[in-house]
Amino acid sequence: MDDEKYYQTVAEELRANRINDALWTKAIAKSQGDENKTKAMYIQLRVEQLVQEEKRSKLARTELGEGREGEPEDVAVAAPDEQQKVVQWIVAAVLILVIAFVVKNWLWPKLETYL
């Protein structure tokens, strides 16, 4: 397994002083306050965290159907928007039918008495 990219990410985060405070605190606890061990423990914990995040991300993409051969990855991401549009069209159609029913059965008979 090529984990260098994770270590590279952590190195860049450390250089930019972007440290996960909760993870740093956990590293201090695991290293029993030893400053030399804390940084090494933090790096190890952060790499494990990045690996887990990538696994969850891949699993989520797989569950959404992304990444299938010959299919663009953004197709699955766009699906919820398309589903929302279909639902909006169905709701609009139902509202039109309800309005037509009310006009035909309730409003129209009343208007006929005046015509």
Annotated domain spans of the chain? 1-64, 79-115
Per-residue model confidence as pLDDT tens digits over 27-39 = 999 999 888 899 9
Place of tokens 């400053």: 35
Largest CA distance in the chain: 93
pLDDT at position 46 is: 92
Please tell me the pTM assigned to this model.
0.53
- pLDDT (tens digit, 9 = 90+) per residue, 60-104? 888 777 555 555 554 445 466 778 888 889 999 999 998 888 888
Q: How far is CA 98 from CA 89, 91, 93, 107, 110, in A?
A: 14, 11, 9, 12, 18
For residue 113, the 8-state DSSP code is H
What is the secondary structure of 48-100 as a DSSP string? HHHHHHHHHHHHHHHHHTTT-TTS-THHHHHHHHHHHHHHHHHHHHHHHHHHH
With cut-offs at 50, 70 and 90, classify the pLDDT of residue 111.
confident
SS3 102: helix
